Amino acid sequence: MTSHRTSDSADPSRPLLSDLDEDELLRQILPGLPSGPAVLLGPGDDTALVEVRRGAVLATTDAMVRGRDWLDEWSTADDVGRKLVAQNAADIAAMGGRTTALLVTLAADPATPVAWVREMTAGLAAASREAGIAVVGGDLSSAPEGTLMISITALGDVDSDPVLRSGARPGDVLAVHGTLGWSAAGLLLLQRDSADRGPDQVSYHRRPRPSYEQGPLAASAGATAMLDISDGLVRDAGRIAAASEVQLAVDSALLRDDIELLAPIVGAEDARACVLTGGEEHSLLACFPSLQLPQGWRAIGAVRAGAGVTVDGRPATGGGWDHFKD
């Protein structure tokens, strides 16, 4: 056999970040980043300049840390880049907004392969491009041995008043758009070393892709409160309940299809837990003043006077995880 040399390197673990200077690294990364019509000034000066259409900008930030938010055994660098876009763009969508631009900070052990950074950037760029989002700036920093973290700030436009968590009123319908429990079920399968039992769920865990466009559509349809499901349906519903000073009553009969879809994959009990408390789904949860829901949304409960979240009338808690607690 002839030994081939690829254009990069035969050994994907080389070069390392410490083999390049910052300018060389930037030359590899910057050309692949998407721009867009909102970018009045992109990377290369002291700051970027991003067009804002209606006098105010939505802004959010969310980070991923290796070993906490992903494991290299289960997620490729491309997956990580795409998931970062999803997390941040879902937050903008949940306000009824449209993400226009991202800024990206990488803090990495100098022994990190350049290929990992290039692949993560490619995933981030691809997911951004697909969603019409520009990457306008960032920062590179070295970090202690073993540390790899990426922090993203997303900026967004909103056409009217943003949809807060605090506007739900008794009588509203509680509705969801997108999957429930898929990310948690996918993680369970990875933990059980049986990814082949639910490839769609495993894929969704690695690369969640909520429908960002549903955020502005829900806002136009009169959504009174909205967020994306980051820490699980029950815990996130609790945030709307607390901010709106109402009770959110989930009807598990309306979740039957979600649970039955996952039951053969992870088991009936875990399927229910995934649907009710599984995090990182980033599907949109919203309240609407009538049963006339926008297309693709489905009712899963009702807003009542009171406090907290109930499932079939019983108080419910749970979901989420804590970054610092042992």
Distances (CA, A) of 277 to 2, 183, 227: 53, 11, 15
Please, which of residues 64-123 interact with a second copy by CB under 8 A? 64-65, 67-69, 91-92, 94-95, 97, 101, 103-105, 107-108, 110
Fill in the amino acid letter for 71: L
User: Which candidate, 9, 5, 10, 4, places its Cα nearest to that of 20?
Assistant: 9
The span of 71-79, 216-224, 302-310, 316-324 binding a second copy (CB under 8 A) equals: 316-324
Nearer to a second copy, 59 or 305 (CB): 59
Is 165 annotated among the ligand-binding residues?
yes
Please, which of residues 130-169 interact with a second copy by CB under 8 A? 136-144, 146-147, 149, 151, 153-156, 158, 162, 164-166
Q: Is residue 193 close enough to count as binding a second copy by CB under 8 A?
A: no
Nearer to a second copy, 45 or 193 (CB): 45
Nearer to a second copy, 144 or 313 (CB): 144
Please state, in angstroms and rounded to a whole number, the distance separating the CA atoms of residues 281 and 87: 9
Nearer to a second copy, 101 or 249 (CB): 101
Strand order in the sheet with 314-315: 225-228, 284-288, 173-177, 297-304, 247-250, 308-311, 314-315
Cis, peptide link before residue 170, omega less than 30° from 0: no
Please, which of residues 167-186 interact with a second copy by CB under 8 A? none
Closest CB 297 distance from a second copy, rounded Å: 18
Please, which of residues 213-252 interact with a second copy by CB under 8 A? 226-228, 243
Closest CB 36 distance from a second copy, rounded Å: 13
Helix (H) or strand (E) holding 249: strand 247-250
Closest CB 47 distance from a second copy, rounded Å: 4
Is 160 annotated among the ligand-binding residues?
no
Is 60 annotated among the ligand-binding residues?
yes
Q: What is the dihedral of CA 202, 203, 205, 209, to 10 degrees?
A: -150
Nearer to a second copy, 94 or 316 (CB): 94
Nearer to a second copy, 59 or 268 (CB): 59
Closest CB 165 distance from a second copy, rounded Å: 6
Give residue for tokens 């599907």.
Answer: 283
Nearer to a second copy, 101 or 250 (CB): 101
Please, which of residues 7-26 interact with a second copy by CB under 8 A? 17-18, 20-22, 25
Closest CB 240 distance from a second copy, rounded Å: 10
Closest CB 134 distance from a second copy, rounded Å: 11
User: 140-143: which pairs have CB atoms within 8 A and are 24 or more residues apart?
Assistant: 140/22, 140/25, 140/26, 140/105, 140/106, 140/108, 141/105, 141/106, 141/107, 141/108, 142/17, 142/107, 142/108, 142/109, 142/110, 143/107, 143/108, 143/109
CA angle, 209 then 80 then 324, to 5°: 105
Phi and psi, residue 189, nearest 5°? -65, -40
Closest CB 67 distance from a second copy, rounded Å: 6
User: Which candidate, 130, 128, 165, 177, places its Cα nearest to that of 283?
Assistant: 177
User: Which candidate, 174, 178, 197, 172, places its Cα nearest to that of 187?
Assistant: 197
The span of 51-59, 264-272, 293-301, 304-312 binding a second copy (CB under 8 A) equals: 51-59
Residues making up the annotated binding site for substrate are: 69, 280, 321
The binding site for Mg(2+) consists of 46, 60-62, 91, 139, 228, 231
